[in-house]
Amino acid sequence: MLTLVSEHRIYGCHKLKDQGGKCTQWHGHQYRVILTLQAPYKDLDYRNMIMDTYDIEAIFNEFIGVDHLNLNEFMDSENPTMEEMSKFFYDGLKDKIECLVSVGVYETPETGVTYTPME
């Protein structure tokens, strides 16, 4: 089994209605979004790749759509947490990236969440 990791950066703002602290006010982050793809070696494409990283980047950028996101609007959520973002991004990308196995979202260099669907 081979694993490909593709990291992307997005800029976004949000506020968390139910957080109860300072995050209930509008604030922003530079998010790291980490897509993890897996495929058996025997299933590599004609280029000997799981998937071309340029194709992954194009699909991700098309999904995001803009340079700076209002995550509350983009996700239609009052509480767009990292947890919710990771699942939202996974659900939005899975049909376009068939070998996607998980999506990680980091709000800071030290703090992140990874969504992996249960089989």
Enumerate residues 6+ apart whose C-beta is below 8 A from 89.
Answer: 33, 63, 103, 105, 115
User: Of 94, 56, 90, 89, which is closest to residue 75 (Cα–Cα)?
Assistant: 89
Q: Which residues are catalytic?
A: 23, 68, 107
Alpha helices in the chain (DSSP H): 53-64, 71-74, 82-93
Q: Is 8 annotated as a binding residue?
A: no
Q: How far apart are CA 103 and CA 116, in angstroms?
A: 7
Which residues are annotated as part of the binding site for Zn(2+)? 14, 27, 29
Which residues are annotated as part of the binding site? 14, 27, 29
